[in-house]
């Protein structure tokens, strides 16, 4: 069973709906965060938890904006998380559990083994809040890449392949050149970085994008990414907004 493409709705166009005004509110919030970042970063040198939260907020908000513009968010809220046919399909259950297993191995088992907290205090509510929106924001960035690709490529597996290449390239550059420098506190054990990529991030993308191609459960894809990122945030002991040390 392979679903018919496209999974997501057409590109956004103004229709005077609540979604339009939600988009405008997000754009205003993004602008507010951007101006706040530019104002505050002149006063702070080095890593700053406060700036990390602001930068994270800009990224998460960008994910929601992209999701609306590419037709992802309307599909997420309009389509059922799972169909009755899928519930009665043994292969759907096996593939879903496989994806859960891959996420568990990658982010609940492997990733923590190559991660240090450097004695940071755990602020559980703030950590879970940040992790939740990191997951929802980045998950929608990944789905937006699929949504754009499927509008130009009709073959579902070619869409999955091109999305994998786009997302893999983006995440590699984004993590190494920006996120792990300005947002995430120091946490990596360098000797584990390649293992995390080859045994964690890549299997995650291969498995979950294939799952999306076969069954089209975009919301489950989003929830899987969110679960992984929430746990990563917890295990690295992401600093609170008010922390004065990374």
**Tens-place pLDDT, residues 139-186:** 999 999 999 999 999 999 999 999 999 999 999 999 999 999 999 999
Examine residue 78 and say whether the peptide bond preceding it is cis (omega within 30 degrees of 0).
no
Closest to 182 in 3D by CA, of 39, 32, 59: 59
Count of residues for the chain?
246
CA distances to 72, 94, 102, 156 from 113, rounded to whole Å, are 34, 27, 16, 35
User: Phi/psi at 188 (nearest 5 deg)?
Assistant: -80, 140
User: Phi/psi at 3 (nearest 5 deg)?
Assistant: -70, 160
What's the pLDDT score for residue 43?
Answer: 85
CA distances to 27, 122, 142, 189 from 62, rounded to whole Å, are 8, 27, 12, 29
Mean pLDDT along residues 176-204: 96
Is residue 45 very low, low, confident or very high in pLDDT (cuts 50, 70, 90)? confident
What's the pLDDT score for residue 68?
Answer: 98
Where exactly are the structural domains of the chain? 18-235
Better pLDDT: 100 or 5: 100
Separation between Cα atoms, residue 69 and residue 92, nearest integer Å:
30
Label residue 19 exposed, middle or buried (CB < 10 Å: 0-12, 13-18, 19+): middle
């Amino acid at each position: 069973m392979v679903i018919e493409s496209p999974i997501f709705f057409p590109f956004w166009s103004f229709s005077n709906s609540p979604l339009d005004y939600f988009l405008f509110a997000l754009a205003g919030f993004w602008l507010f965060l951007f101006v706040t970042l530019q104002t505050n970063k002149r006063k702070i040198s080095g890593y700053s938890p406060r700036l990390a939260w602001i930068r994270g907020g800009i990224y998460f908000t960008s994910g929601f904006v992209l999701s609306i513009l590419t037709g992802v968010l309307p599909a997420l809220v309009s389509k059922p998380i799972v169909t009755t046919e899928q519930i009665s399909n043994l292969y759907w259950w096996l593939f879903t559990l496989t994806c859960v297993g891959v996420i568990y191995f990658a982010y609940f088992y492997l990733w923590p083994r190559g991660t240090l907290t450097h004695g940071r205090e755990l602020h559980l509510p703030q950590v879970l809040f940040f992790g939740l929106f990191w997951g929802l924001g980045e998950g929608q960035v990944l789905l937006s890449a699929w949504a754009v690709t499927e509008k130009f490529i009709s073959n579902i597996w070619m869409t999955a392949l091109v999305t994998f290449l786009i997302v893999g390239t983006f995440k590699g550059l984004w993590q190494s050149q920006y996120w792990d420098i300005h947002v995430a506190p120091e946490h990596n054990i360098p000797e584990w970085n390649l293992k995390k990529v080859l045994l964690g991030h890549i299997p995650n993308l291969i498995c979950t994008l294939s799952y999306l191609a076969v069954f089209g459960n975009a919301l489950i894809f989003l929830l899987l990414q969110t679960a992984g990122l929430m746990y990563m945030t917890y295990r690295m002991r992401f600093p609170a907004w008010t922390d004065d040390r990374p």
